[in-house]
Amino acid sequence: MSATFPSQARIVIVGGGAIGTSIAYHLALAGEKDVLLLDKGKLTSGATWHAAGLMGQLRSKVNLTRLMQYSADLCARIGAETGQDVGWRNVGSLRLAASDARWDELKRAATAARSYGFGMELIGPDEVKKLFPLADTKGLKGATWIASDGYVDPYSLTQAYAKG
């Protein structure tokens, strides 16, 4: 960090949350050197501070799914790269269906996931109960399971981006 505030920069990023620091991190990876990150307060003092950090990867479009897969992979490795533990926990995720309409929706999502080459399983209530013994599966039609989903600590991830 410079002792004096620069009067100009080739690239200026406004916002020192997870998005702004991610942009700065990725620009640095791409070789950009004249980047300035501005924030009205401290890093993560805005919306990032309130974020849950959930990393569900499947999206409605393949390119967005790939972006989320990249993000989850980055969360799994950035701690080793920067020395900042980001709290990545690969716990998986469930999407539950208690109605026929929702079950049909989840089956369509699983078909899309397969077409993307993305790992998503259709599972029944018994398998839900095995994964989460405290789950109330009464009336459950089925669910999807994505083993590669997880969550991250947004504050720590932002700090890792800043260190990277």
Say what the alpha-carbon torsion angle 82, 84, 88, 89 is, to the nearest 10 degrees. Answer: 130
The pLDDT assigned to 46 comes to: 86
Joined together, the tokens standing for residue 152 give: 């991250």
**Positions of the chain with pLDDT under 70:** 1-3
Which pLDDT value is given to residue 63? 96
Domains along the sequence of the chain with CATH? 11-89+150-163 (3.50.50.60), 93-146 (no CATH)
Q: What is the pTM of this model?
A: 0.86
Q: What does the pLDDT read at residue 154?
A: 95
The confidence score (pLDDT) of residue 4 equals: 81
Scored b (16 or more CB within 10 A) or e, 98-107 reads eeeeebeebe
C-alpha distance across the termini of the chain, in Å: 13
Is the distance from CB of 83 to CB of 163 less than 8 angstroms? yes
Determine the pLDDT at residue 1.
55
Look at residues 106, 88, 109 and name the one whose alpha carbon lies nearest to residue 98. 106
157, 78 Cβ separation under 8 angstroms: yes
Which tens digit of pLDDT belongs to each residue from 60-70? Answer: 999 999 999 99
